[in-house]
A and B are shown apart, each in its own frame.
Chain A
Amino acid sequence: MQFTKKYDGLLKDCIYEGEHKSGLKVIILQKNTAKKYATFSTCYGSINTEFVVPGETEVTKVIDGVAHFLEHKVFEQPDGTNAFALFKGANVNAFTSFGVTNYLFSCTDYFYENFRQLLSYVQTPYFTEENVEKEKGIIAQEVRMYDDDPDQVCFYNCLRGLYKNHPVRTEIAGSVEEVMKTTPELLYKCYNTFYHPSNMAVICVGDIDPEKIGDAVDELITKDKPEGEIQQVFPSEPDEIVNHESEAYFEIAMPSFTLGFKDVETGGDMLKRDIVSSALLRVLVGGSSPLYERLYKQGLINRNFGGYYEYEKSFAFAEIGGESNDPKAVANAVHEEIARVKREGIDPEAWQQAMNVLYGRYIRLMGGDVENIGNEYMFSFHRGVDLSTYPDVWKTVTIEDGMERLNSLFVPERSSLSIVYPKK
């Protein structure tokens, strides 16, 4: 397969991009590192519970947690061994997010050998009644581990407050009950739909020879382009939220909270929206904001206070969270601060500082650990965003964009506060 080479003048690195005849996208970010990282990912995550199989007309709806169950089972090899054993001197793993499932490894030696193993095992599904049954106990323990994690519960309660129908409101691994209902047929159905190379990407980061990657892909990916396209289906989601407040109780010493804002603008220029929203969050609740200083001095927040923006093509939200002995007072103060900045405008100096931070963060990300680079690039890719355009998009962002976003994203009527309190 052929690659086109791009030189990134800011980072002083090269990027190679190509498309295999199967439709598989291959991207190599060359970096001068000892560790090399490879990912083989599919644009299929926990939110893809409804879809139209290529060639069919009816919508298929499956239970929650199948993408994550698949992530576990893809490791199972037809000879009964675990794919972990195929790798040499590597860190091998996989994870499932809302929008993607990613199979990965990193290593300093044996990279090309290991890369071939990655391509092979992900393309070798082997699901039986017996091996699916065996996995249920393991996944049930994983789910229970999350059930005991107050931060996880706080986060999902907030999402359930924001979303009425969208599957982002459900835990990635599903519930123990649904895990127990998983069957080999269900796994094959989802695997055959979403694990076609045309729905997947290979992204590698490090001191890597693109030709060797291309040769391995040519040899080991034998499928052609599919006949039809996979159609992802999402239930219609109203702009309105479900509830403004929710509570849960845990064996903890201090309450923690998540204040979510549902973004009703999705798709389109997502990278720009991400930059503007992230800068805004810094201006509103960042360590240099007047609100942060005031709440900190009042003893209402500690160092864990902050906000971030998260998005996929089909949903987006902002979250502000932390620990506090009075989460409701903090939430009220955040709403008041948003109202004040809407009235008085964004402080231009604070805006410039926030934009500077985002610029520095991007360089630190792209000059940092190859796994972080690869993961961010991979997430962006499946959202239809080219992360290497970040500095160019960053340049186009203005304080007026910030003001517009402030009014469209931070709407009190579309916010939900989730609190976890210590059990009495």
Chain B
Amino acid sequence: MKTIQLKKGIDLYFIKDEKFKTYMASVIFYRPLTRKGASLGSLLSSALKMGNAVCRTNRELNIELEKLYGASLYCSSGKRGEEHNIRVAVEGVCDEFLPSPAFARSLELLFAAAFKGGVDGGFDLDMVEREKTNLIDNIRNQISDKRYYAMMRLEEIMFGGEGCGVNSLGYEEDVEKITAEELYGYYQDILTTSGISIIFTGNFDEAAAEKAARAAVESLPQREASHTLASIKDEVGEVKRVTDHMDVTQGKLAIGMRTGIKPTDESVWAQSVFSAIYGGGPSSKLFNNVRERLSLCYYASSWANDLVGVLNISSGIEFKNFDPAYKEIMAQLQAMKDGSFTDEEMDIAKKEICNSYRSRVDGVESLEYFYTAQILLGRDLTIEKVINKIESVTREQITAVANRVKLDTVYFLTGKEEA
């Protein structure tokens, strides 16, 4: 990865590999995550697709993208730990594979959407009201995917809606109050105070990319910007146990545990291996016991959220099977704490993780995601270095991680009639 500081607080990154037939160019605005900012950021990411200085309407923008052989423009608002990221990105085919060139124009569209959003110095009132309605619909409709909903509820209960527990989609009552003027003010604030990363990934012309990026930020002021790392809690109080009732046919079990391990701690690598052995894939303890041995579910898995020091577990089960499933999940955790896993299980888990890291070099999005995580954490790791770290994890380190795991929250989404 090559880094060029365009201005204080505005950096340009190149992750170039000529083997790609495509490129991705992203503008990421970063700032600390707040509850209010989540709603504003979500609404802003919708508004940025609805018109700017170059394409005045969403339809104009879509027509321009189609002319570029279906280049995609993405606008999103999300979180990484306690950092809020508003991302505008364009993805397209390299000029050498197209009947007529598209790269230069796609960058114009990207930078217009990111830096010149709104029409005639503001956001249209009707547009903002419509996007508010759409956003509120989306917030309410998080209930439609029950597995996702259970994880969302788990996070809500575990973090109490604070810090990294803020729902990055936003909150209905906050969205309702936002005015077009306030939203435009928030956008101007982001443009002038948030940190900005501009990242090119894949196969692209570096000189053309740098020139376009420089021109795009020319009128923006320099700024003080730093990345936000989540505070990691080691302590847990009394275990929180919540059950919701809904008219569903399958129960969803979601469990949250704290490891207290910071993403910059060396034990974060052992945490990855631990989670892979415990509930990572079809070779894991949860798959082979909760699913294969006891036939309790179709899926039972765990994954570590390194940025916040949390281990999540998720499974879909019959309502009546809560007790046996929960008991088995805990029994397998105890086995990990006792160090009762084989060298083979450890070896399989490491190979799985390394394979997944090595595979990242094939995708523009996965490459960008890997490197932006390194930028966030302020470290200079390559995929090969990460693989070395995973490979050198020892049995003792894994057991040590297992023994740091503390149960925090147990959430169960069950049927209406269930006790």
Contact = CB atoms under 8 A, between A and B. Distances in A.
Interface stretch (B110-118, B188-196, B207-215, B351-359): B351-359
B288 to A, nearest CB: 8
Interface string B290-303: 01100111110000
A333 interface: no
B292 to A, nearest CB: 7
B140 A367 contact: no
A252 B355 contact: no
B22 A293 contact: no
Contact of A137 (B62, B144, B296): B296
B232 interface: no
Contact of B143 (A135, A149, A252, A356): A252
A360 B358 contact: no
B66 A253 contact: no
B382 interface: no
Contacts of A293: 57-59
Contacts of B291: 138
A84 interface: yes
Contact of A253 (B137, B283, B361): B137
Given A32-B19, A144-B316, A363-B21, A89 B137 contact: no
A293 B60 CA distance: 10
A290 B298 CA distance: 44
A141 B318 contact: yes
Interface string B269-282: 00000000000011
B297 A141 contact: yes
A144 B250 contact: yes
A148 B93 contact: no
A224 B273 CA distance: 45
A137 B295 contact: yes
B283 A10 contact: no
B419 interface: no
Interface residues of A, number: 70
A354 B133 CA distance: 30
Interface in B13-43: 19-22
A252 B58 CA distance: 28
B369 interface: no
A108 interface: yes
Choose among A359, A364, A369 the residue with the greatest number of B CB atoms under 10 Å from its CB: A364
A288 B66 contact: yes
B354 to A, nearest CB: 7
B103 to A, nearest CB: 12
Contacts of B138: 302
B239 interface: no
Contacts of A360: 68-71, 92-93, 98
B134 interface: yes
B67 A138 contact: no
Contacts, number: 182
Nearest to B131: A302
Given A109-B355, A254-B141, A353 B67 contact: yes
Interface stretch (B82-90, B241-249, B332-340, B399-407): B241-249
A375 to B, nearest CB: 15
Interface in A261-300: 282, 286-288, 290, 292-293, 296-297, 299
Given A84-B283, A367-B93, A89 B22 contact: no
B146 interface: yes
B68 to A, nearest CB: 8
B128 interface: no
Interface size bracket, B side: 35 or more
Contacts of A368: 21-22, 363
A252 B138 CA distance: 11
Interface in A131-154: 134-139, 141-142, 144-145, 147-151
B97 A10 contact: yes
A288 B63 contact: yes
A361 interface: yes
Interface string A75-118: 00000001011001111100000000000001111100000000
A323 interface: yes
A11 interface: yes
A148 B249 contact: yes
A357 interface: yes
A33 interface: yes
Contacts of A329: none
A27 B123 CA distance: 53
Given A144-B316, A364-B22, A357 B363 contact: no
A325 B352 CA distance: 44
A370 interface: yes
Nearest to A92: B282
A240 interface: no
A34 interface: yes
B97 A363 contact: yes
B362 interface: yes
B250 A356 contact: no
Contacts of A328: none
A141 B298 contact: yes
B19 A359 contact: no
Given A293-B57, A367-B93, A90 B355 contact: yes
A141 B250 contact: yes
A34 B358 contact: yes
A91 B146 CA distance: 26
5 shortest interchain CB distances as A-B pairs: A367-B21, A360-B69, A89-B351, A137-B295, A357-B70
Given A136-B295, A364-B21, 15 more contacts: A11-B21, A34-B359, A89-B351, A89-B352, A91-B356, A145-B147, A251-B246, A251-B247, A252-B144, A254-B137, A323-B141, A353-B67, A356-B68, A366-B21, A367-B97
24 contacts: A11-B21, A35-B359, A84-B282, A89-B351, A91-B352, A108-B355, A108-B359, A109-B358, A138-B291, A139-B298, A144-B250, A144-B316, A286-B62, A286-B66, A287-B58, A288-B59, A288-B65, A292-B59, A353-B66, A354-B66, A359-B70, A360-B69, A364-B91, A364-B93
